Chains A and B, each alone.
Chain A
Amino acid sequence: MTDQIQVATSPHVSMTSLSTRRMMIDVMVGLAPATAMAVFMFRWYAVVQVGLCILSCMAAEALFCWMRRRPIPVGDCSAPVTGLILGLSLPWSAPWHIAVIGSFAAMGLGKAVFGGLGYNIFNPAMVGRAFVMLSFAKAMGASAFVGTKSGLAVIAQATPLTVAKKFAADLSVGKVITGDLQLQMEAASDLWPLFVGQVNGCLGETSALALLVGGVYLCLRRSASWEIPAGIIISALVVSGLANWAGLTPFTALHHLIGGSLLFGAFFIATDPVTSPLTPKGKFYFGIGVGILVVLLRLFSGYPEGVMFAVLLMNAVTPVINRRTIPRPLGGGGPEMGRG
């Protein structure tokens, strides 16, 4: 027996139910309702888009690890998670090369160049999406969502946020609202379809209900920190409520919350642990920042939606938030500790 007795430092036991892999699997489980809803609404297009992204991300990770002469980390399941999130954030109509290029950009520029899982500064899936969004503006733009396919009723309409953006833009320049736009606006303002997901949009973002179910699961499992979605939801509600009151947007705070990809971003994108702050307070501030930026981008940028850029911008300030939110140790230091 003595030859197998180990000498090691404490602690000698660990919580085996918790692992990086388990956290990644939790994200996939949490996204299952939204994925199912995407397949239900966009049929074959969703299956192909998401499947292509997952496979491309895994292939890209294998390729980049091989190039860096590192073992391929199949076990941590982080590549398929990035692929799933990227796939769900694309429009149904995006051609196959967008999915593939986006995946390679996500794994390469988003992750591998920084040194792999745990070292990246920006959310890989959002890096990939930003890459294809800027490279293929037309195929990723508002018009790409609208089309006519038999069996897909939702794609006949523009996305709710696009309608709201056009409506607000027309109003602000004093243009007369046409009857057609008025009708579209009324349809887009209907809360129930917006909540269950019978609207046009990126594949995974349409159903607030599915995202809430999966998001709450993720927070209860503590694989996502609740402080981030809480911060995002609170600040987005406040800012969009004020904007609505000031006449800057025809949508109420509730529309802004359940429309577009705000909930998708709040629960599944901004909560990426690697690219968000460490401390509970920092996480909450991060969420507040994302929420404010999302609404500001929706109101004032050239794009109808702002989740992607809001998350990327806040990723960039995460190190600053970390430095400013070092907790005061029990029995130690005054407020001067943690400055620097």
Chain B
Amino acid sequence: MTTRSSFPGGVHPAAHKALAAEAATEVLPTPDEIHVPLVQHLGAPCKPGVEPRAEVALGDELGNSDAFVSAPIHASISGTVGKLTAVTLPNGCRVRAIPVKASDEQPLSGQDLFDDIFGGPWPTGRFEQYEPKQIVDACRAGGLVGLGGAAFPTHVKLVRNEKRPIDTLLINGCECEPYLTADDRLMVEAPAPVVTGALLAQRATGAESVKICIEDNKPKALESLRRVAGAAGVEVLAVKTKYPQGGERQLVAAVLKREVPIGGLPLDVGAVVVNVGTAAALARAVLRGKPLTHRIVTVTGAGIRRPRNLLVPIGAAYRLLIDYCGGVTEDAARIVSGGPMMGFTLGNLDTPVTKGTSGVTVLTHDEVRKAKETACVRCGRCVDVCPVHLVPTKIALASKAGDLDLAQRYCIAGCIECGCCAYVCPASVPLVQLIRLGKVLLQKAASAKKN
């Protein structure tokens, strides 16, 4: 039940999980107002489906799209719809958002809300009473996207394709980013919906086997899931703790020894990877017809006064989460949406939490301090740790020089921006930043060619 096999490369940054790992999930008090962005996923943006001044209830659809690769959005509180506004998401995208002002009467709050979302009963079995399409449709209707961070619409992954049969379903509970503990808490506090969701996803994809993969630094989550999953006949696998073990490609490489082609998806090699949080939301969407309206967010870091895990309505401002956790300390330097390896810094705390928000990490000046940047000394450490087997320094320097041919020869498209290279670089070269620059230049060159 343990696999020592792993993906190539990777790093072992200090985990700092203890800050919030023992803090039981608390429910954020219902905010006065939320802003629900029309794009929270990879794919087409939603069109607003409600008019200003309309009354909406918790779980009502606010917007949808006709595109296949998209996911509808829902009201995470009851209240009155406001005028369409624009918000800037942590990744820098400026998108439109629907504001909802909370009404005085909220159907659910506090522990009742938690129990409604995660409380049992959660049946197990082969779920043959559900047609695969029924499950996929319920995912779409529920607005399910990957909760691990990439926010890829879940129904796209689960839909059956005769040409590409799926043999293995991996439920991703690795949570390899330092600091974050949201998935860990979910697995400890509510393992049952995760297992039920896994079985439903298995039914949808027709996968022969389903494996729940958890990094071996989370013994409590492993024990909790083994207790529930054992009875349901689902395998729970302890995988090596190494960043970025939770990356789809890395997990598939580690567990199944298969290489997901660059530019492809795990389904190209017969696998589907679903985050544990997504699995739990899937169970709720299919069995109870309830959409994705809340998620667990870790608010943590040495720069936050009282680190904890919160159940948050999607669309709530980051400021509310930080204030609930006592605010930031004097020496706070960066407020990061997500973890320190791949997260985006927040410039504006009124930014709303989206479906892909796994945490807020507040880092102190000491933590973000770097050694002085020198020229690359070509030591090759970045090559040693790259989980995709790239030569990061060559790609980064080619990007910096604007030599896009060279960057492509070194396969810039394969970079997953995990940050391992920049983490180890003794010369403190901003490798990931330069590679991102190269990708942008390539996109510009491609669109210029088209015109």
* Residue positions of A touching B, CB distance < 8 A: 1, 4-16, 18-23, 73, 75-76, 116-119, 222, 225, 273-274, 276-280, 283, 322, 326-333, 337-338, 340
Q: Does B23 contact A (CB under 8 A)?
A: no
Contact of B426 among A6, A11, A19, A276 (CB under 8 A): A19
Residues of B within 8 A of A340 (CB): 409
Question: Which of B333, B347, B371 touches A4 (beta carbons < 8 Å)?
Answer: B333
Contact, CB under 8 Å: A10 / B380? no
Q: For chain B, residues 390 to 418, give those with C-beta under 8 angstroms from any C-beta of chain A.
A: 390-391, 393-394, 409-411, 413-414, 417
Is there contact, CB below 8 Å, between B13 and A13? yes
Q: Give the distance in Å from the alpha carbon of A340 to the alpha carbon of B430 in the complex.
A: 26
Known: A16-B369, A332-B411, A340-B409. A118 touches B427 (CB 8 A): yes
CB within 8 Å: A-B pair count: 180
With an 8 Å Cβ cutoff, the count of chain B residues facing the other chain is: 72
Question: Using a CB–CB distance below 8 Å, which chain B residues touch chain A?
Answer: 7-8, 11, 13-14, 178, 249, 253, 259-262, 264, 328, 330, 332-336, 340-347, 361, 363, 365, 367-372, 374-381, 383-384, 387-391, 393-394, 409-411, 413-414, 417, 419, 422-428, 430, 432-433, 436
By a CB distance below 8 angstroms, the chain A residues around B389 are 327-330
Whether A11 touches B260, Cβ cut-off 8 Å, given contacts A5-B334, A118-B378, is: no
Using A13-B423, A23-B426, A329-B390 as known contacts, say yes or no to A273 and B378 having CB atoms under 8 A apart. yes
Cβ contact within 8 Å between B334 and A19: no
Residue numbers in B under 8 Å from A16 (CB-CB): 369-371
Q: Given A8-B334, A119-B375, A278-B393, are A330 and B341 neighbors across the interface (CB < 8 Å)?
A: no
- Picked from B380, B419, B425, the residue with its CB within 8 Å of the CB of A273 is B380
**Interface residue SS majority, chain B:** loop
Contact call B419/A11, Cβ cutoff below 8 A:
yes
A22 touches B426 (CB 8 A): yes
Contact at B372–A14, with CB atoms within 8 Å?
A: no
Of the listed residues B372, B383, B424, the one surrounded by the most CB atoms of chain A closer than 10 A to its CB is B383
For A274, what are the chain B residues with a Cβ–Cβ distance below 8 Å?
377-378
* Contact (Cβ within 8 A) B422 A14: yes
Tell me the minimal C-beta distance from A268 to chain B in angstroms: 15
Question: A11 touching B423 by the CB < 8 A rule?
Answer: yes
A152–B358 Cα gap in the complex (Å)?
70
- Bound-state CA distance A329–B387 (Å) is 9
Nearest Cβ distance between residue A7 and chain B, in whole angstroms?
5
Give the chain A neighbours of B260 by CB distance below 8 A.
Answer: 330-331
CA distance A269 to B347 in the complex (A): 47
Contact A5 B372 (CB under 8 A): no
Distance between Cα atoms of A284 and B48 in the complex (Å): 60
